C-alpha cells in the first residue's frame, strides 16, 4: 500500500507483530525502540529490511522527539499512521509501597511518550488533512489491577488523551482510537507474573490482527472510541463519550 507508518515499541511484542503485518502489506515502517537490544531478532522476524527502518529514540525527551520529527520533515517523509505502542510496567507493589519516582516513570513512559509523538506528528496530519492515530492502552486502563496502580493510572489516562485528540479533530480527517488488550504472552507479562502465567495469555499476533482489521475498516471503532481485546476475543467496542 506504500504508506508510512510509525510504530513505537517496534522491536518486540505487539509492536513487532504490527510492524511485520504493515510491511507485508507493502507499507514503510519506521520502528522506534528505546534500545537496540532486540534489533537483530526484529529484523530477522520482519525480513524485509528495505521497508522496516529501526530508530533508537528516547520517547520521553521532548527535545529528541521534536528533533526526530523535524528530520522526517527535512527528508520529506509524510506519516499516514502513528501507532503508540511503547510502554512500561515496572514491578508489582501495593499503593503504600510505591515511590513517587516509580509513579512518574510509568506516567512518562505510558502517557507522556504518546502525548509527545502525537504533538509532533500532528503538523504532518494537519497539512495532509488526514491521519490515523492508534494508542495502545490496556485492559488495566479500563479497570485497575491491584499492585499495578502506576501502570493502570497511566493507561487510564491514555483513553483521555485519545478522546481529547478525537474531539479536537472531529472535522479535519484525523482519527484517534484506543486499543485495550488484556494480558498478552510477552516478556513484560512474564516479568510481572511469571512465564507460566504469560504462556496462558493471548498472543501478540492475535491482538495485532485485530488492530490491523480496525485500521483497515474491517472492524469499526469510531474516533475517540476504544476496543477491548480479552482472552483471544473482542470483549467490547466502546463509542466515544457523547458529552
Per-residue pLDDT reduced to its tens digit, 198-213: 999 999 999 999 999 9
CB 138 within 8 A of CB 235: no
Pairing between strand 28-33 and 174-181?
unpaired
Q: CA 18, CA 150: separation in Å to the nearest integer?
A: 26
Q: Is 222 part of a structural domain of the chain?
A: yes
pLDDT above 60 (res 243) = no
Count of domains for the chain: 1
Q: Is 216 part of a structural domain of the chain?
A: yes
Q: Is 212 part of a structural domain of the chain?
A: yes
Percentage above 90 pLDDT, the chain:
95
Mean pLDDT, to the nearest integer, of 214-232? 97
Q: Is 242 part of a structural domain of the chain?
A: no
Q: Is 192 part of a structural domain of the chain?
A: no
Question: Would you state the pLDDT for residue 242?
Answer: 81
Question: Would you state the pLDDT for residue 41?
Answer: 96
Q: What is the CATH number of the domain that holds 105?
A: 3.40.50.720
Range of the domain at 43: 4-180+208-227
Q: Is 202 part of a structural domain of the chain?
A: no
- pLDDT tens digits for range 145-183: 999 999 999 999 999 999 999 999 988 899 999 999 999
Q: What is the mean pLDDT of the chain?
A: 96
54 Cβ neighbours under 8 A, 6+ residues apart: 10, 11, 31, 32, 33, 36, 39, 42, 43
Percentage above 70 pLDDT, the chain:
100
The whole-model pTM stands at 0.96
- pLDDT tens digits for range 38-90: 999 999 999 977 999 999 999 999 999 999 999 999 999 999 999 999 999 99
Amino acid at each position: 500500500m506504500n504508506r508510512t507508518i510509525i510504530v513505537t515499541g517496534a522491536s518486540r511484542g505487539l509492536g513487532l507483530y504490527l510492524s511485520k503485518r504493515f510491511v507485508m502489506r507493502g507499507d514503510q515502517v519506521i520502528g522506534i525502540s528505546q534500545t537496540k537490544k532486540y534489533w537483530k531478532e526484529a529484523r530477522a522476524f520482519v525480513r524485509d529490511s528495505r521497508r522496516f527502518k529501526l530508530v533508537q529514540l528516547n520517547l520521553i525527551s521532548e527535545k529528541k522527539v521534536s528533533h526526530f520529527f523535524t528530520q522526517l520533515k527535512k527528508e520529506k517523509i509524510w506519516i499516514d499512521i502513528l501507532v503508540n505502542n511503547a510502554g512500561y510496567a515496572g514491578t508489582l507493589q501495593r499503593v503504600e509501597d510505591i515511590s513517587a519516582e516509580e509513579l512518574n516513570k510509568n506516567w512518562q513512559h505510558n502517557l507522556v511518550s504518546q502525548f509527545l509523538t502525537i504533538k509532533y506528528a500532528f503538523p504532518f496530519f494537519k497539512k495532509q488533512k488526514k491521519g490515523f492515530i492508534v494508542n495502545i492502552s490496556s485492559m488495566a486502563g479500563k479497570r485497575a489491577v491491584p499492585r499495578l496502580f502506576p501502570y493502570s493510572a497511566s493507561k487510564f489516562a491514555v483513553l483521555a488523551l485519545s478522546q481529547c485528540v478525537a474531539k479536537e479533530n472531529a472535522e479535519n480527517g484525523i482519527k484517534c482510537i484506543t486499543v485495550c488488550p488484556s494480558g498478552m504472552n510477552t516478556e513484560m507479562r512474564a516479568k510481572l507474573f511469571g512465564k507460566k502465567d504469560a504462556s496462558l495469555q493471548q498472543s501478540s499476533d492475535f491482538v495485532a490482527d485485530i488492530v490491523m482489521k480496525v485500521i483497515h475498516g474491517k472492524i469499526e471503532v469510531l474516533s475517540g472510541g476504544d476496543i477491548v481485546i480479552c482472552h483471544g476475543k473482542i470483549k467490547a467496542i466502546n463509542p466515544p463519550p457523547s458529552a
